[in-house]
Amino acid sequence: MNQERISLEEETIRICQDLIRIPSVNFGEGKGDESAIAAYVVDALAQVGITADVYESAPNRVNVIARISGSDSSRPGLVLHGHIDVVPADAKDWSVDPFSGEIKDGFIWGRGAVDMKNVDAMILAIVRKWKREGYVPPRDIVLAFFADEEAGSEYGSRFMTAKHPEVFAGCTEAVSEVGGFSITVKNGKRLYFIETAQKGIHWIKLTAKGNAGHGSMINNDNAVTALSEAVAKIGKHIWPQRYTKTIKSLFTHVAKATGNKYDESDFRPLLDELGPAKRMFGATLQNTANPTMLNSGYKANVIPQSASAVVDGRFLPGYEDEFNQTIREIVGPDIEIETITRDISLEVDFSGDLVEAMIQALMAEDPDAIAVPYLMSGGTDNKALSELGIVGYGFAPLKLPADLDFMALFHGVDERVPLDGLKCGVHMMERFLKNC
């Protein structure tokens, strides 16, 4: 292995550790602070002569943008983006300090190691290397390090696309997190999952109203009872299977790679080939609605006048209307439904020059790589960029151990990223960026 490859790997690991050690925790409801980590990013770029601009959407809510000129600036540009906030971590639940960036058992441990400071580190290490070498990419690249992705992006990508769309001028495509990771299926083949679609979000608040009264009395208009019945129905509802074009393409590839039958009437048997990740992939075969919060009452012997609940709803591309109509039918006419958060679904084709560059980058570092598209059960900042007409993909490559339950590490206890996977991934990412 040549020294150039080793140096890129070592710098990626070092930067990843540095980023984890900056606790850029996003508690939601506007309570976050990306100022310190944004300052680190600005300094890391400035050290090699890359000028970055800082955009503060609120006190301590900071976004960083830099543009790297390509050899052909007449070509449409690429947005290469990552978020720099993380979800909270309770140290008492962890095997290590969640903000230590400790290297242990062949992994970097810490909050953000997977989501997504490992990718931020890849980006920084690659562009720093290019600047030192004098390398110029084939087209303009806008580097975007967003705030607030973990709480709806209001202070991050949503702010930037609404208030500063000019920084993305000329860009038509974007690449970011949760794609390009590998899963080893039962026959030993490695599939690399490129994110080409995302479910939409509809978080709703349900409110039931009734007659307040003494807890010792008979009350046939009890808000808590009405709400509980509605919530239970939602939680137990069996949603129909709905297969989007991305799902059909995914399982065509899975069936071919595993030698299993492709049966478009039911893809669930093929889920078993995906190991523990089938929990996430199973959620992409249908709409979902999970009750997550309940609120009612203030004293044991008082029947409250109202009761409320929050439901986390996710809908497939093309099935938002079905989702909303079904929720209304389930809860009935007497329960109020209020939208808390709503965001679009996305779906793009698994084809074209950008996708081909991803596939070639994967195979150059792992000749056995099989690239497949997938639909993500959550969402990324690509949704905000899509409103500017920018087509986004999830491609943050990692070659993962066959026995690693990768999806469980997102927001999980003992979040960690394998060193070997990160080393391979940064070379895949650089190859892609040089040829896209």
Domain ranges, residue 225? 197-343
For residues 142 and 51, membership in a common domain is answered with yes
Question: Do 168 and 203 reside in the same domain of the chain?
Answer: no
pLDDT at 272: 87
Domain for residue 416, yes or no?
yes
Last residue of a domain, one of 315, 343, 371: 343
Q: What are the strands of the beta sheet with 107-109, ordered from one edge? A: 103-104, 107-109, 416-418
- In a shared domain, residues 428 and 307: no
Q: What is the pTM of this model?
A: 0.92
**Burial environment of residue 22 by CB neighbours within 10 A (0 to 12, 13 to 18, 19 or more):** buried
Q: What is the pLDDT of residue 2?
A: 84
Is residue 347 within 8 A of residue 196, CB to CB? The reply is yes
Residues 230, 83 share a domain: no
Asked if 120 and 203 sit in the same domain, the reply is no
Q: How far is CA 7 from the centre of its chain?
A: 28
Residue 186 lies in a domain: no
Q: Are residues 153 and 243 in the same domain?
A: no
Contact indicator for 400, 177 with CB cutoff of 8 Å: no
Residue 182 placed within a domain: no
- Note the residue count of the chain: 436
Last residue in a domain, options 343, 367, 400: 343
366 in any annotated domain: no
Q: Is 156 found in the same domain as 201?
A: no
Both tokens of 262, joined, read 């492709």
b/e burial code for range 365-383 (CB count within 10 A of at least 16 → b):
bbeebbbbbbbbbebbbbb
Q: Looking at residue 303, which CATH number applies to its domain?
A: 3.30.70.360
Same domain? 233 vs 142: no
Q: Is the peptide bond before 116 cis (omega within 30 degrees of 0)?
A: yes
The pLDDT of residue 1 is 58
Task: Establish if 290 belongs to a structural domain.
Answer: yes
Using only the alpha carbons of the chain, give its radius of gyration. Answer: 23
Q: Is residue 7 part of a domain?
A: yes
- The reply to whether 57 and 170 lie within a common domain is yes
- 213, part of any domain: yes
| Strand 77-83 to 141-146 pairing | parallel
Which residues of the chain have a pLDDT value below 50?
none
- Residue 4, classified by CB atoms within 10 Å of its CB into exposed (0-12), middle (13-18) or buried (19+), is exposed
418 plus 322 within the same structural domain: no
Is residue 243 in a domain? yes
What's the number of domains the chain is made of?
Answer: 2
Last residue of a domain, one of 287, 320, 343: 343
Do 257 and 334 sit in the same domain of this protein?
Answer: yes
Q: What is the pLDDT of residue 264?
A: 86
Do 202 and 312 belong together in one domain? Answer: yes
CA-wise closest residue to 429 among 76, 1, 119, 139: 119
Q: How far apart are CA 422 and CA 397, in angstroms?
A: 8
